[in-house]
Amino acid sequence: MGRSPCCELEAHTNKGTWTKEEDELLVNYMTLHGQGCWRSLPKAAGLLRCGKSCRLRWINYLRPDLKRGNFTQEEDEIIIKLHSLLGNKWSLIAGRLPGRTDNEVKNYWNTHIKRKLIRRGIDPQTHHPLNGATATAITDNDRICLEFRSPTPSSSGTTEETQPHSQLQDKQNTANAVNLELSIGLPSNSTSLSKVPGQFFRPVVTPPPCAPVLAKALCLCWRLGFQNGQLCKCQTRNGLYR
C-alpha cells in the first residue's frame, strides 16, 4: 500500500511548540468551520503547519471540551481497570474519561500510574503481582471474552459478521461458561462505527450471539463498578445504554 508523502516534507512548515498566534488561528478556524479535512486546513486557516500537527494541537490542547487539571482518584482507578482490560489502547481508555485525551492518559500512565502500581507491587503491564503469580488482576478467561466482543483489527465489520457460525458458537460457549460479564458493546450493523472519542462503546442494538446481554452489561462503567460515579456518562436513552 502506498503512503502519502508526509506533509512535513513540504517546505515552509513550522515545527515545534505552537505560538499563541497559531493557536488563535486554529481556534478561529475550527470555531467557524468545524472539523473537516485536516490536510487542507492549514492553508485555509493561514497556518504554516501540516494538517497532522493541527489535528494533534486541536485534539490534545485546544478543544473546548477538554478538562484541564489533575486526574482524580476515580479517574486513576478507571484508567487502571481499563488498562488491565484493554492494554495500551489509550484512545479507548480516554474515550471513557470525559475531557481527557489519549495523549494525556498515555502520559499520565507513563509518569504516574506505572509507578503507583509498582509501589502497590503490581506489574503495570500485566497487572499481575510483581512477586509471583498467585493472584491475577485479570484472567485469561477475561481476555477471551473481551477479545470475542472487541472488533478485530483485520476486519472492517463486526466479529459476528466475519466468523463462521461454528467458531462463534464455541466462543459463545466459552463466554457463557465464564460469564464474567466483561462485555464491550459493538456498534450494530445498523449504526455506523462512531469514531468520536467516548462513543466507541455504543449499545449493541441487537444483542450479539455471545450471550443474552442485559442493558447494564453494555455499560463498561457499570461493569467496572463505577456506575454510581460522576464519571459514568452512560445513561439510558430509549432504553439503551450509551
- Taking the complex as a whole, how short is the minimal distance between the CB of residue 36 and DNA, in angstroms? 7
Q: Give CA–CA dist 210/162, Å, rounded.
A: 14
Residue 195: C-alpha distances to residues 53, 84, 202, 215 (Å):
19, 22, 11, 22
- Taking the complex as a whole, how short is the minimal distance between the CB of residue 179 and DNA, in angstroms? 27
- Taking the complex as a whole, how short is the minimal distance between the CB of residue 104 and DNA, in angstroms? 6
* 184 three-state secondary structure: coil
Closer residue to DNA, CB minimum distance, 60 or 163: 60
Q: Give CA–CA dist 142/87, Å, rounded.
A: 13
Closer residue to DNA, CB minimum distance, 144 or 193: 193
Cell, residue 49: 503547519
Footprint of DNA (CB under 7 A): 1-4, 6, 8, 14-18, 37-39, 51-53, 55-57, 60-61, 88-92, 102-104, 106-108, 110-112, 153-156, 193, 195, 197
Closer residue to DNA, CB minimum distance, 64 or 212: 64
- Taking the complex as a whole, how short is the minimal distance between the CB of residue 117 and DNA, in angstroms? 14
First to last CA, the chain: 36
The neighbouring-strand residues paired with 237 are 240
- Taking the complex as a whole, how short is the minimal distance between the CB of residue 29 and DNA, in angstroms? 13
Closer residue to DNA, CB minimum distance, 48 or 231: 48
Closer residue to DNA, CB minimum distance, 6 or 135: 6
Residue 209: C-alpha distances to residues 40, 190, 199, 216 (Å):
43, 16, 22, 17
